[in-house]
Amino acid sequence: MTDVYALSSVDELGPVLKDYDRTLMVTDSNASKLVDLPSSSIVLPPGECEKRWESVDRILSRALELSLARDSVFIGFGGGVILDMASFASSVYMRGARLVLVPTTLLSMVDATLGGKTGFDYHGIKNLVGTFYPAEAVLIVPDTLRTLPESEFRSGLGEVVKHAFLSKDRKLHEFLIENHDAIMARKSDVLSEMIRLSLEVKIWYITRDPEEKKGIRSALNLGHTFGHALESLRGFSVSHGEGVAWGMHKAFRAGVELGVTPEDFASSAVSLLELYGFDGDESIADDEFSRYLAAIRSDKKKSGGSVKFVLMEGQGLPVLTPLADEDIRKAVSC
């Protein structure tokens, strides 16, 4: 199980990371501004468009240049793109090197750090190639969120709100309502508690289904199948969190339409999404629906040739179900 540590400031990172011998820090040009980089680092360009094999190859080549061994430590320092690629490179280098993750965005703190999913985009398909490889430690510094661009902060909030619906109770849901202003003002103590509550939900699911083989952990994909297809259709110009939030809107609409999701639950969920600025108004036009459907059918989560969507029967009650093409069209059209 991954150990998670909360640090009060970036200044605490240096002494902690010095405890690891023979390291390779993997970061990008955005996150690299937050710390003094060790000489054993590689700085990649930022952005989803860099989440590809060529970037992974650069990481592995740098590891070879440094003569790293299996007991060496890959340190992923940055957002989800960097963490996913650093984790994948670590998982395949000499059949598995040590791995420590330091997320610097809200999205990566609540989504990319725990659970061991690694990977990169391939042939335009998000995270098509990857492995399961949990980090031995995750170091979370909420202080890094102060300088995060508004769009990146909102992207992370999409995943936090998702966890509020999946939680077995409404504690996170109510916290998000009661502390909206403090969260948007990025007050450190409030963000720390929000991250803790969000991670508790994710941990509940992944500990019961570490490699997503029982269908339990698949609940964490709420909004993802609809959302990932939108991201692909828009050439990844839509952020992951925005895509997931949009996808949740569509999942609630489909669930109500099919009699799976109670209308009062869907209404409450949509209200929380809208409170945080996720309106879900964008629709898929008739002339692009075939390409959107093709993106769904290429989803890596399909099983037995069928893509299953996460719908909600109520608070903390996800259910996996395939959807007919016409049901998908109704959910994503005007």
Confidence at residue 328, expressed as pLDDT on a 0 to 100 scale: 97
- Give the chain's domains with CATH numbers: 3-145 (3.40.50.1970), 150-332 (1.20.1090.10)
pTM reported for the whole predicted model: 0.88
Q: What's the sign of the alpha-carbon dihedral 261, 262, 265, 271?
A: positive
The model's pLDDT over 278-295, given as tens digits with 9 standing for 90+, comes to: 999 999 999 999 999 999
**Dmax (CA) of the chain:** 58
Confidence at residue 212, expressed as pLDDT on a 0 to 100 scale: 80
Which residues in the chain show pLDDT less than 50? Answer: none
Confidence at residue 168, expressed as pLDDT on a 0 to 100 scale: 96
The model's pLDDT over 78-106, given as tens digits with 9 standing for 90+, comes to: 999 999 999 999 999 999 999 999 999 99
Q: Hey, what are 16's tokens?
A: 């902690």
Confidence at residue 129, expressed as pLDDT on a 0 to 100 scale: 95
SS3 for the chain is: CCEEEECCCHHHHHHHHCCCCCEEEEEECCHHHHCCCCCCEEEECCCHHHCCHHHHHHHHHHHHHCCCCCCCEEEEEECHHHHHHHHHHHHHHHHCCEEEEEECCHHHHHHHCCCCECCEEECCEEEEECCECCCCEEEECHHHHHHCCHHHHHHHHHHHHHHHHHCCCCHHHHHHHHCHHHHHCCCHHHHHHHHHHHHHHHHHHHHHCCCCCCCCHHHHHCCHHHHHHHHHHCCCCCCHHHHHHHHHHHHHHHHHHCCCCCHHHHHHHHHHHHHCCCCCCCCCCHHHHHHHHHHHHCCCCCECCECEEEEECCCCCEEEEECCHHHHHHHHCC
Confidence at residue 299, expressed as pLDDT on a 0 to 100 scale: 74
CB atoms within 10 A of CB 155: 26
